[in-house]
Amino acid sequence: MSESFVSVPTFVSYIRVSTGKQHQSGLGEEAQRIAVANYVRSKGGHLMQEIQETQSGRKSLAKRPELARALALCKRAGAVLVIGKVDRLARDVRQFIALIDDSGVDIRFADMPDVCPHTDEGRMLLLSMANFAEFEGRRIGTRTKAAIAAKKRRVEVGCDEKAPGITDWKKVWGVAGAANLRQNIEERRDAANAFAAKLHHTLAGFQARGLTQRQMVAELNAVGIKTARGGEWSLVQVQRVLARLKGTPLNVADVEKRDAVWGSW
């Protein structure tokens, strides 16, 4: 009696991440590995070998030796190359087409398990996904270049190498951090107090005449007395000078917020 044997499909998997940092975290690789395992199981197949690579998907095959090794292994073993996601094969449409058409290897994708690249419908779907992968790759490249340029500008002005948040004053103000910030606030406060002292007699005269604060604003602008920054007076600025002259306690946080908007005159 002759026995019949069922052929078990053999697979080689290709796992790719773009950077060493992604490789160290292992998160991207693990997601691909799970997708591949589910695909191979659904096909009743056997995973012969996993090949990993850390390289940009926009690089040519000549610069992706592990992908070349995976293709060569598939040819020798008659195996199918399975990849976790379409964009893991390539982020360049021309390279994607060349690999599908000219590699001599049957390539399948775990994120599109029912799509065959050798049918018209499957080819159309895969090319659509490849186009999107290229578009996404270019956007990533643009963002990366912008981030590098921003980092370079920060280094040139002496800021910390890491991107500072808007409230991360230690990074914004350099190595001394908070000490530099406190010194800057104190210098600005001293300058503002000195400027207010110069206006003491003028404002005292206005008060003696019974002028309202709004009338003081108009009078200062009319006689050509400028703010410390050489601008026109506003009601808020006059109120702040009067508060300083009266010794009214001012909350430091409030001063910082107002200084950010109005400056130190």
- DSSP-assigned letter for residue 61: G
Give 110-148 pLDDT, tens digit per residue.
999 999 988 888 889 888 888 888 888 778 778 877 878
Residues 110 and 211 reside in one and the same domain: no
pLDDT band at 25 (very low <50, low <70, confident <90, very high): low
Residue 149 to residue 143: CA distance in whole angstroms: 10
One domain for residues 85 and 174: no
Residue 1 has pLDDT above 60, yes or no: no
Do residues 239 and 178 both lie within one domain?
Answer: yes
Which residue among 98, 124, 140 closes a domain? 140
Q: Are 103 and 184 found together in one domain?
A: no
Residue 161 reports pLDDT greater than 80:
no
182 and 229 in a single domain? The answer is yes
- Domain of 179 in residue numbering reads as 169-262
pLDDT in tens, 194-251: 888 888 888 888 888 888 999 999 989 888 888 888 889 999 989 988 988 886 444 4
Please provide the size of the chain in residues: 265
- Among residues 90, 124, 140, the one where a domain terminates is 140
CATH code for position 51: 3.40.50.1390
Q: How confident is the model at residue 152 (pLDDT cuts 50, 70, 90)?
A: confident
pTM above 0.85, yes or no: no
Instruction: Give me the pLDDT at residue 147, please.
Output: 78
Q: Which residue has the tokens 């982020």?
A: 91
In a domain, 78, yes or no: yes
Alpha helices per DSSP H over 14-119: 20-25, 27-42, 65-77, 86-89, 93-102
Does the pLDDT value for residue 154 go beyond 90?
no
Domain tally, the chain? 2
Distance CA 76, CA 55 (A): 24
pLDDT of 249 = 43
Asked if 81 and 183 sit in the same domain, the reply is no
Q: Are residues 81 and 30 in the same domain?
A: yes
Same domain, 134 and 177: no
Q: Contact at 8 Å (CB) between 146 and 156?
A: no
Phi, psi torsion values for 11, nearest 5 degrees: -125, 150
